[in-house]
């Protein structure tokens, strides 16, 4: 691009030609990696009981089967209990030993010559169980004297009262309010369902180092737990991350199956590989959401909300993993949402159940906060007979370009919520939709129109205070960018190349991206919490700028002039003396000149001053068949303000994907268990995975309110679409049948649930 900035332009993704032709290289494609040739396969036999004492494990038949090299239990590996990071009184061995706590928990590791032999041998493992009461329902588990982890003394593993936050005061809090509405909502459990399931491989080198390949969102963060599991120093662990086929938060941490591979490889003296099946992924990869919410909202008949009370009961699943802290540290701080509510009480409680552990999932606690307050606002609007968009407008925090602190103590950077709402309503033709809805209701049409509105704010870039970056120029003028973030669909190669081209003038097609190799990039916080651009990209931008300054110094020395007289002609990629463009040195010239002194490069860890708070408004339109309950999502408008936009094409892709995932939760997805905690949605035939056929085209409305938090003025966008779309869709479904007396329909709003709600209202 000549004579102007590349930033802010619709630049096509560099990654796409590879993925659309030869395809990516994933963990399961590494069979030809020289260090893995001849490697063995690991299969895990898993618990078929949700909650039971393990009386005995019989591996004898499996050990004698063809191709079986070794069979390991917690006892044979001498595994010790590992305490949970978020509650040390909750501890387990990486292979279940004395007890199993959810269906799918790994019990036995089987090593075979082929993957198929491992699957056969796993069927031959016999475990004798003493069955215990299993808990799926949160409130039942809270109240029970049967403890899933006896040492914890309770199935409640965290409560905000431990932080000095008092319990909610109850109904007395709302004394004097003219209007009070209450609700009990379940933000249901969902499965992340990355198209690439988990996989890993491990081999020990002659130098005593462990090299492990992982499908992960955070290679650097896996070093410490893998080193600990193998009893070696962190310098003895080398993590490599090839292409990753989706993560959605569930691939942030290392799981028992991955932590044990090095241990197993050392025992058998050969490289080992593991890949889960889709059915295993559905019960063993961490789940998301799973939050029960009790809300009460109070205020005036004119629509002003003055009091809000939220009790969020978070399902941790079968271990005190990331799910334990989602409600207290993500949902609670964002409980105010976009609203200027002067009085808020928010208590959270995290509870262990006999289900798959809950981890971070796209949005991780912030979608739950938005869903709670947006559902509450709809109830309030119904109660006072006011348009739900108008109720929201009345209560919005006014525009601010300086930090604003809410009643619960969260400080937002910048916000203009009313403009986002107005833009979304205008583009969606909200007035026209309401007019059409009124006509259908007057005619008594079978297919009724529903319009849902949500306004949201979320926190992004709050994980880590900065990110590492290195930019190196090679002898031929090409550049290599090393980043501590990790791409799995976001377009980092394109985005980081744009940033480097903007600073250096080196064309994007001459820029290579390196990530996920802890020897080459030892420092990094990975990709999560919509942090990549505002921390990783910000670091690349800053480091590339410093590299230009370093290059000017080199050019000045070669040209024998003052550094102040050297300028960079970005169009030519050359440095010259002011007023003398004919005498110039290219990036390649400078790289060659610096070869003897370590090359032309610059690296640093660039810190940022805090998180950012992107916001927006969504309008969802559905058509509901009142005779069958079937819902059709017919239109969706999304205004997501992510600050300064680097590449509108990448931004729109993230919004489209986010809306799809949010719509899936609102309409289709739910992980379900029977009364004995047996999973009944353990494959994609039973689980409501969304496809393009269920989605309308998404209308993206652009809006930019730059943040002062980083050099780029950028806020996160990776999760926003998910956060705004889900409550809008749920509201739209309820709105379609609200004239029939329906006030709430739990997600997912399936045909059965919608039909039942209509019948109950009648």
3-state secondary structure (DSSP) of residue 485: coil
Closest CA to 663 of 628, 695, 631, 639: 695
d(CA 560, CA 545): 22
Q: What is the pLDDT of residue 3?
A: 63
Whether 571 and 703 share a structural domain? no
User: 601: Cβ–Cβ under 8 A, 6 or more apart, which residues?
Assistant: 470, 471, 472, 473, 547
Tens-digit pLDDT profile for residues 561-593:
999 999 999 999 999 999 999 999 999 999 999
Tens-digit pLDDT profile for residues 279-289:
999 999 999 99
DSSP letters, 1-43, are --SS--TTS-PPPSSHHHHHTT----GGGGGG-GGGTT-EEEE
Confidence band (pLDDT; 50, 70, 90) for 736?
Answer: very high
Identify the domain boundary among 341, 369, 386: 386
DSSP letters, 347-414, are EEEEEE-SSPPB---TTTTHHHHHHHHHHHHHHHHHHHT--HHHHHHHHBPPPBSS-EE-TTSPEES-
Would you say residue 667 lies in a domain? yes
Residue 381 CA: distances (Å) to CA of 310, 318, 384, 387:
18, 38, 5, 6
Q: Judge whether 59 and 112 are in contact, CB under 8 Å.
A: no
Q: How many domains is the chain partitioned into structurally?
A: 4
Q: What is the CATH number of the domain that holds 59?
A: 3.90.1170.50
Tens-digit pLDDT profile for residues 390-448:
999 999 999 999 999 999 999 999 999 999 999 999 999 999 999 999 999 999 999 99
3-state secondary structure (DSSP) of residue 172: helix
Q: What is the pLDDT of residue 556?
A: 97
Pairing of strands 179-190, 199-204: unpaired
Identify the DSSP state of 351: E
Residue with tokens 């609203």: 339
Q: What is the pLDDT of residue 4?
A: 87
- Any bridge partners for residue 128, and if so which? 56
Residue 730 has pLDDT above 70, yes or no: yes
d(CA 603, CA 595): 16
Q: What is the pLDDT of residue 1?
A: 47
Whether 437 and 469 share a structural domain? no
Confidence band (pLDDT; 50, 70, 90) for 740?
Answer: very high
3-state secondary structure (DSSP) of residue 318: coil
Would you say residue 111 lies in a domain? yes
Whether 65 and 177 share a structural domain? no
Q: Judge whether 423 and 701 are in contact, CB under 8 Å.
A: yes
Residue 370 has pLDDT above 70, yes or no: yes
Taking residue 180's Cβ as centre, other Cβ atoms within 10 Å add up to 17
Whether 326 and 266 share a structural domain? no
Tens-digit pLDDT profile for residues 163-204:
999 999 999 999 999 999 999 999 999 999 999 999 999 999
Would you say residue 474 lies in a domain? yes
pLDDT (mean) for 662-673: 98
Whether 431 and 306 share a structural domain? no
Percent of the chain topping pLDDT 90: 98
Confidence band (pLDDT; 50, 70, 90) for 31?
Answer: confident
Would you say residue 408 lies in a domain? no
pLDDT (mean) for 301-325: 97
Residue 96 has pLDDT above 70, yes or no: yes
Confidence band (pLDDT; 50, 70, 90) for 555?
Answer: very high
Residue 603 has pLDDT above 70, yes or no: yes
Q: Two tokens at 448?
A: 């009724």
Residue 32 has pLDDT above 90, yes or no: no
Q: What is the pLDDT of residue 614?
A: 98
Would you say residue 138 lies in a domain? yes
List phi, psi (to 5°) of 366. -80, -40
d(CA 41, CA 274): 6
Q: Judge whether 529 and 462 are in contact, CB under 8 Å.
A: yes
Helix or strand holding residue 41 (H, E)? strand 40-46
Would you say residue 11 lies in a domain? no
For the chain, what is the mean pLDDT? 97
DSSP letters, 436-462, are HHHHHHHHT-SEEEEEEEEEEE--BS-
Provide the sign of the torsion angle of the four alpha carbons 280, 219, 217, 650, taken in this order.
negative
Whether 431 and 321 share a structural domain? no
Residue 374's domain comprises 133-192+286-386
d(CA 22, CA 45): 34
Residue 482 has pLDDT above 80, yes or no: yes
Residue with tokens 């009364």: 675
pTM of the entire structure? 0.97
Tens-digit pLDDT profile for residues 337-369:
999 999 999 999 999 999 999 999 999 999 999
Whether 437 and 499 share a structural domain? no
Whether 422 and 360 share a structural domain? no
Whether 733 and 743 share a structural domain? yes
Q: Judge whether 1 and 9 are in contact, CB under 8 Å.
A: yes
Would you say residue 317 lies in a domain? yes
Whether 432 and 343 share a structural domain? no
Residue 756 has pLDDT above 70, yes or no: yes
Q: Two tokens at 386?
A: 């006011």
Residue with tokens 């950028």: 714
Identify the domain boundary among 256, 275, 294: 275
Would you say residue 212 lies in a domain? yes
């Amino acid at each position: 691009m000549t004579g102007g900035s590349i930033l802010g332009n619709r630049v096509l993704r560099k990654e796409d030609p590879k993925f659309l032709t030869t395809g990516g290289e994933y963990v399961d494609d590494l069979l030809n990696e020289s260090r893995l040739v001849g490697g063995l396969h690991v299969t895990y036999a898993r618990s078929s009981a949700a909650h039971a004492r393990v009386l005995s494990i019989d591996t004898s038949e499996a050990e004698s089967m063809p191709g079986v090299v070794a069979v390991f239990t917690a006892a044979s590996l001498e595994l010790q209990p590992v305490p949970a990071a978020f509650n040390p009184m909750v501890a387990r061995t990486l292979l279940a030993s004395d007890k199993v706590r959810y269906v799918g928990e790994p019990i036995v590791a089987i090593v075979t010559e082929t993957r198929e032999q491992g699957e056969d041998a796993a069927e031959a493992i016999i475990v004798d169980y003493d069955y215990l009461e299993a808990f799926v329902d949160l409130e039942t588990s809270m109240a029970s004297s049967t403890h899933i982890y006896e040492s914890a003394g309770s199935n409640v593993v965290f409560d905000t009262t431990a932080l000095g936050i008092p319990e909610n005061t109850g109904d007395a809090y709302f004394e004097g309010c003219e209007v009070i509405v209450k609700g009990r909502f379940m933000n249901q459990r969902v499965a992340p369902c990355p198209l690439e399931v988990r996989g890993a491989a491990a081999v020990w080198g002659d130098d005593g180092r462990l090299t492990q390949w992982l499908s992960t969102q955070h290679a650097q963060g896996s070093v410490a737990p893998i080193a600990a599991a193998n009893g070696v120093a962190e310098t003895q662990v080398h993590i490599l991350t090839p292409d990753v086929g989706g993560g959605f938060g569930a691939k942030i941490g290392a799981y028992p199956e991955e932590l044990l591979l090095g241990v197993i490889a050392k025992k058998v003296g050969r490289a080992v590989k593991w890949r889960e099946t889709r059915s295993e992924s559905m019960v063993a990869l961490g789940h998301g959401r799973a939050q029960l919410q009790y809300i009460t909202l109070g205020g005036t008949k004119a629509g002003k909300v003055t009091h809000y009370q939220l009790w969020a009961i978070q399902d941790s699943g079968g271990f005190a993993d990331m799910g334990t802290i989602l409600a207290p540290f993500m949902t609670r701080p964002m409980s105010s949402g976009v609203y200027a509510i002067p009085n808020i009480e928010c208590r959270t409680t995290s509870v262990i159940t006999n289900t798959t552990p809950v981890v971070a999932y796209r949005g991780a606690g912030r979608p739950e906060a938005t869903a709670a307050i947006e559902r509450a606002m709809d109830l309030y609007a119904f109660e006072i007979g006011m348009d739900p968009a108008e109720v929201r407008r009345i209560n919005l925090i006014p525009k601010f370009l300086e930090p604003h602190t809410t009643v619960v103590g969260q400080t937002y950077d910048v916000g203009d919520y009313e403009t986002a709402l107005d833009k979304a309503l205008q583009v969606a033709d909200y007035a026209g939709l309401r007019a059409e809805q009124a006509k259908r209701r007057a005619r008594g049409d079978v297919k009724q129109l529903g319009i849902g509105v949500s306004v949201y704010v979320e926190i992004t870039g709050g994980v880590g205070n900065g990110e590492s970056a290195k930019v190196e120029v090679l002898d031929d003028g090409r550049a290599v960018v090393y980043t501590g973030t990790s791409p799995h669909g976001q377009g980092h190669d394109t985005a980081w190349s744009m940033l480097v081209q903007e600073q250096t003038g080196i064309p994007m097609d001459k820029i290579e991206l390196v990530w996920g190799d802890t020897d080459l990039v030892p420092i990094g916080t990975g990709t999560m919490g919509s942090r990549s651009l505002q921390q990783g990209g910000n670091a690349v931008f800053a480091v590339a700028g410093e590299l230009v300054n370093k290059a000017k110094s080199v050019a000045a020395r070669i040209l024998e002039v003052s550094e102040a007289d050297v300028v960079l002609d970005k169009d030519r990629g050359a440095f010259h003396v002011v007023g003398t463009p004919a005498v110039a040195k290219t990036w390649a010239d400078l790289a060659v000149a610096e070869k003897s002194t370590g090359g032309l490069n610059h690296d640093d860890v660039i810190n940022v001053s805090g998180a950012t708070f992107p916001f927006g408004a969504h309008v969802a339109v559905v058509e509901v068949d009142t005779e069958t309950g079937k819902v059709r999502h017919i239109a969706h408008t999304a205004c997501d303000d992510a600050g300064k936009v680097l590449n509108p094409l990448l931004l729109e892709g993230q919004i489209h994907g986010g809306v799809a995932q949010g719509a899936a939760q609102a309409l289709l997805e739910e992980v379900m268990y029977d009364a004995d905690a047996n999973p009944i949605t353990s494959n994609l035939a039973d689980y409501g995975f969304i496809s393009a056929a269920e989605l309308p085209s998404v209308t993206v409305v652009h809006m930019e309110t730059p943040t002062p938090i980083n050099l780029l003025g950028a806020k996160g966008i990776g999760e926003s679409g998910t956060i705004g779309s889900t409550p809008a869709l749920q509201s739209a479904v309820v709105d379609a049948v609200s004239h029939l007396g329906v006030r709430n329909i739990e997600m997912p709003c399936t045909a059965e649930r919608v039909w039942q709600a209509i019948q109950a209202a009648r």
